[in-house]
Amino acid sequence: MNNEYLIEVENLKQYFPIKTGFFKTTPLKAVDGVSFKIKPGETLGLVGESGCGKTTVGRSILRLYEPTDGVVKYNGEIITASNMQEYRKHMQMVFQDPYSSLNPRMTVEDIIGEPLDVHKLYENKAQRREKILSLMELVGLNAEHATRYAHEFSGGQRQRIGIARALAVDPKFIVCDEAVSALDVSIQAQVINMFEDLQQKLGVAYLFIAHDLLVVRHISNRIAVMYLGRIVEVGDADDVYEHPQHPYTESLLSAVPIPDPIQAKENKRIVLSGDVPSPMNMPTGCAFRTRCRYATERCATECPSLLDRGNGHEVACFNR
């Protein structure tokens, strides 16, 4: 079945019940109606400040959290709790923290080999070892690393082990959840280049979750900007970067450091007023209106939906 889109997410919602009294629970709206599509071999960057729901989106797509509502399709087929197991081979995740996402009691060989064991992707022990060593070579690890434990490696090497584990089942889609944020800058560059090389070799599609806008621009074909559980702007990476249209995106991009001191002096920071509202007590209408310099009375009563402003550049704002 050849679809134009590999992953389609429609109106995804993830509400967590939080106890607010003896017998009372209030839903925390971590993700509130998110929709996007990813083509085969494409990278969609998902950005936004901490706590906006980026990680929850990635985990809900892979059903590490059971979504409250919404539809996720892989190659046109709807994914449900009952058929998720067969799709695990096609969809994988690289976690944010390379220190806590690897089992300290397992050798590298067993960590990378675990997905092969679960999905029974080898015929004998020799074939299993051969696959593991070729995966290690693919991500730049030596064969002698196979018998070591995770604590013997640096952060960058651990992240490579995590990537090799994700690639073991030959997936077509990988969620990279802040996959380079815990690493040194020099190691970040190596891992990002490796992601790009793997995409060229294997044709993998990525949902690349990050808050470093320079990294996201470098690796992504398209960028989606998230604020308090909703996507407020999505479009071609260069287009969003050069011509941001949502006031939140403008503010985010104005905070990106510029290496040229003269240009940096001329760059006007757009500082947002107030604090991020609690996802348990959201403002009416547009969630961003309490911090927005363009907010009007309409923003308090209606929530803007994403509208195409041309070239697939979609923005959720009444006043821009």
Q: What is the pLDDT of residues 253-304, one digit of tens each?
A: 988 888 878 877 777 788 888 788 888 888 899 999 999 989 999 999 999 9
The answer to whether the beta carbons of residues 231 and 240 sit under 8 Å apart is no
Show the DSSP H helices in 21-105 as ranges: 54-61, 84-87
Banded pLDDT at 191 (limits 50, 70, 90): confident
Residue 261's domain spans which residues?
7-90+172-180+203-315
Helices 125-138 and 155-167: angle between axes, nearest 10 degrees:
130
Q: Is residue 281 part of a domain?
A: yes
Q: Please state, in angstroms and rounded to a whole number, the distance separating the CA atoms of residues 64 and 93.
A: 10
Q: Please state, in angstroms and rounded to a whole number, the distance separating the CA atoms of residues 23 and 195.
A: 48
Whether residue 181 is predicted with pLDDT greater than 90 in this model: the reply is no
| Token pair in block for residue 61 | 């797509």
**How much is the average pLDDT of 241-263?**
88
Q: Is residue 304 part of a domain?
A: yes
Q: Is residue 248 part of a domain?
A: yes
**How much is the average pLDDT of 112-127?**
93
Q: Is residue 259 part of a domain?
A: yes
Q: Is residue 137 part of a domain?
A: no
Q: What is the mean pLDDT of the chain?
A: 91
Q: Is residue 16 part of a domain?
A: yes
Q: Domain total for the chain?
A: 1
Q: What is the pLDDT of residues 195-217, one digit of tens each?
A: 999 999 999 999 999 988 888 99
**How much is the average pLDDT of 223-250?**
94
* Other C-beta atoms lying within 10 Å of the C-beta of residue 113: 22
Q: Is residue 18 part of a domain?
A: yes
Q: Is residue 17 part of a domain?
A: yes
CATH code for the domain of 265: 3.40.50.300
* Strand residue runs (E) in the chain: 7-19, 25-38, 43-47, 69-74, 77-78, 91-94, 173-177, 205-209, 222-227, 230-236, 307-308, 314-315
pLDDT of residue 1: 52
Whether residue 116 is predicted with pLDDT greater than 90 in this model: the reply is yes
Nearest to 174 by CA among 203, 154, 200: 203
